[in-house]
Amino acid sequence: MAVRTIRLDRSALEDNDLDARRLRGELAAAGTFLVNLMSSPGAGKTTFLLALLERLCRSCSVGVMEADLDSDVDARKVEDSGLARTVQLHTGGMCHLDAAMTRQGLEALGTEGLDIVFLENVGNLVCPAEFDTGACLDIMLLSVSEGDDKPIKYPLVFGKCEAVFVTKMDAAPYFSFDLERCERNIRARNPRCAILPVSARTGAGMDAATAWILRARAGWKESRNA
């Protein structure tokens, strides 16, 4: 099956923060829980997402927007899994997504009947942190091979996310990755951040990650009704 690919227009909006708040309001009204997934290139966003979808699909309808500079490698993997409605977003070289681009993606995906939509942002620890996509939840992945010092070096993105999933934990001994030191480095930037070690390959931690996301969605639904 061919993957639908959308070429995003660069947005001309001056006030992205305002637009992001507006999008968040629209998502709340529609009942669509949008999750923005950020990481370095190669941290394992798509593999994590596939392991998550296997678990989420038992109770939710899920959509996935795969943002990339080019190629449809990731969207094809998700599409082939049959676990989620999928669309590939091409940013035309842009290093991040803003709220207007995210809205274009949501319109292309079609959110009707979807409980959760994941936006796999461009692999980049710098620029995506500077632009509110309008998502209801910002999540980061940090793979053990990147090293436990990354929260010190990329403070903005580690400071703004609500959870860090530490991926490829099965490879931690190989890279002498120190989870406790990593947690200290994250908490120095972001004291209330949830930190969950996972391995999509072995499945370790994936049930806890799924439960965490479902709880975040339940909290969002409650605050929406309050």
Exposed e or buried b per residue across 71-88, where buried means at least 16 C-beta atoms within 10 angstroms of its C-beta: ebebbbbbbebebbbbbb
Count CB-CB contacts under 10 A for residue 104. 18
Say how far apart CA 134 and CA 9 lie, in whole Å: 17
175 near its own copies, rule: CB under 8 A: yes
150 near its own copies, rule: CB under 8 A: yes
- Concatenate the DSSP letters of all residues of 140-197 into one string: EEEEGGG-TTHHHH-HHHHHH-SEEEEE-GGGTTTTT--HHHHHHHHHHH-TT-EEEE
Contact residue for its own copies among 30, 174, 184, 188 (CB under 8 A):
174
- Per CB under 8 A, contacts with its own copies among 99-128 are 122-127
Contact residue for its own copies among 73, 188, 208, 218 (CB under 8 A):
73
154 near its own copies, rule: CB under 8 A: yes
130 near its own copies, rule: CB under 8 A: yes
132 near its own copies, rule: CB under 8 A: no
Give contact residues for its own copies (rule: CB under 8 A). Answer: 40-42, 68-71, 73-74, 93, 95, 122-127, 130, 143, 145-147, 149-150, 152-156, 168, 171, 174-175
